[in-house]
Amino acid sequence: MLEGIPAVLIGVGVLLGLMATGLPVFAAFLFIDLIAIFVIMGPVGFGLFVNSIYETTTSQSLVTIPLFILMGEILFRSNSVDVLFRSIDTLVGRVKGRQYVLSIVLATVFSTLSGAAMGVAAMLGRSLLPGMIARGYDPRLSAGTILAGASLAPLIPPSVLVIIIGTLAGVSIAGLLIAGILPGLMFAALFLIYCFVRIWLNPELAPGDDDDAPTYTKRDQVLAIIRVVPFSIIILMVMGLILMGVATPTEAGAMGVIGSLFTAAVYRNLSLRMIAQALAASAKISAMILFIMASSKLFSQLLAFTGGASAMTEWVVALDLSRWGMLLVLMVLPFILCMFIDQIALMLIVIPIYLPIVDSLQFDPIWFWLLFLVNITIGGMTPPFGYTLFALKSAWTEAKLSTVFSAAWPFVGLYVLGMVILALFPGLTTVLPSLL
C-alpha cells in the first residue's frame, strides 16, 4: 500500500525545491516531468508528454480564463472603476467608520469585476489608503480591510482560480462559480461587523467622521445609482446568465467582455489603444496560466501511473479519522503551504492527490472544493509570503512590512471563522448551484 508514497514525496519535494530556487512554476513542472518520464518509461514515454500538453491546451473549459481576464483589464484600463469609486462613496453616506465601510464595499465590488486580488489591493492601496490614514484612521485596520476585501477576488465570480479548480477536479465550473456568491457576501459582512465592533470598543479608530464626511443630496445618490447601472449589467451578464442556465461560463465570459466594452464606451473611455493594451496584457497572463497548467497535467498523470495517488488515498483513509477530522487534515495542509507557495502551483500539486481522497470520503464536491478555494485564498494574504501583502506594500511604500503583516492577521482569523461557518452550514455553498 505504501510503495507509491515515496514517489509522491520525492516528486513533490523536488518540485518545491526547484520553485524555491526561483525557477518559473511551469519550468519546474516541465523539468520534473521530463526527468520522471525518462526514468520511469524511457524515451517511449515522451509520447505521453506530447499528448498531455495537447489535451490541456485544447481544453474548451480553459477558454473562459482569457475572457474573464480581458473583462477585468478593459474595466481597469478604461478608468471606468473611477466612476464606480465615486458612486459607491456617494451611496455609503454618513456612517461611523465610513472609510472602513467604503474600503470593504469597494474591494468587494472591484473583486467581482476583476477577479485579481493583487490588482485590487494595489489599486486601493494607492487611491484609498493614504486618505484613510490622513483622516486619522487606524493604519493597520485600514490596510486590513483592503487586504481582506481584495482577497475575495478569487472567491466571487468571475474567478480564474475557480476555472482551474473545476478543470483539474472535474467539478462543474458553473456550479463552483455560483457557489462563491453567498460565501463572498458572508465574508464581506463579517469584515463589516468586525470593524463596527472595533469602532464601538475604541471610537478613536474612526475619528472625525461626523465632521469630515461629505453630505450628499438625494439627487446625488440617484445619479450615483444611475452611474453604476452599467456595472450591474456586467454582473448580470456574468453571474445571472449562468445562474439562470442561459449561458455556460465561457459564453457568460464573452458577454462580460461585451459588457465591459459597452461600459467603457458609456463613460467615453473606449479607444483602440486601450483595447490593444488590454488584449496584450490578457494574452500574456492567460498564456502564463496555460503554460503552467499544461506542464502540470503530466505531473498528475505520473502520480497516478506510479500508484502514488492511490497509495496516498489508502494511507489517509487508513488513519481512521472521523469525517471532520479528515476535513481538518485536508484543510490544514494547504493553509500552511500557501504561506510559502504560489496559489496556482499549490493547486496543481495538491488537487490530483486530493481528488481520489475526496471521492473516497464522499464529500460534496462543490462544498469541498469551495472550502479549498477559500483556504488557498487565505494564503494570498497570510505572512510571510502572501503575494497580496506585497502588492499592498508596493503601493503603501512608507509602511514597514511588519505593519502590513500585523494588519492581515485579524482578517485571516475572520476567514478561518468563515470557513468553519461554511463547513457547518454547507447549504450556504450548495443552495445556488442546486438551482442550475
Place of cell 462544498: 367
Give me the residue spans of the domains in the chain.
23-36+43-435
Tens digits of residue pLDDT in 332-373: 888 877 776 667 777 877 888 888 888 888 899 999 999 999
Tens digits of residue pLDDT in 112-135: 776 678 778 887 888 889 888 888
Give, in order, the Cα–Cα distances in Å from 195 to each of 6, 190, 382: 47, 9, 19
- For 326, the grid coordinates are 479528515
- 3-state class of 2 per DSSP? coil
Tens digits of residue pLDDT in 132-151: 888 889 999 999 999 999 99
Nearest to 141, CA basis, from 412, 406, 392: 406
Q: Crossing angle, helix 25-40 and helix 343-361, to 10 degrees?
A: 50
Give, in order, the Cα–Cα distances in Å from 139 to each of 3, 85, 145, 199, 408: 53, 20, 10, 14, 12
Q: What is the mean pLDDT of residues 392-396?
A: 85
- 3-state class of 325 per DSSP? helix
Q: Which residues contact 65 (CB under 8 A, 6 or more apart)?
A: 160, 163, 164, 286, 289, 290
Tens digits of residue pLDDT in 293-302: 777 667 766 7
Contact 85, 126 (CB under 8 A): no
The DSSP letter of residue 164 is: H
Confidence band, pLDDT 50/70/90 cuts, at residue 2? very low
Task: For 287-305, give the DSSP string.
Answer: HHHHHHHHHHHHHHHHHHH
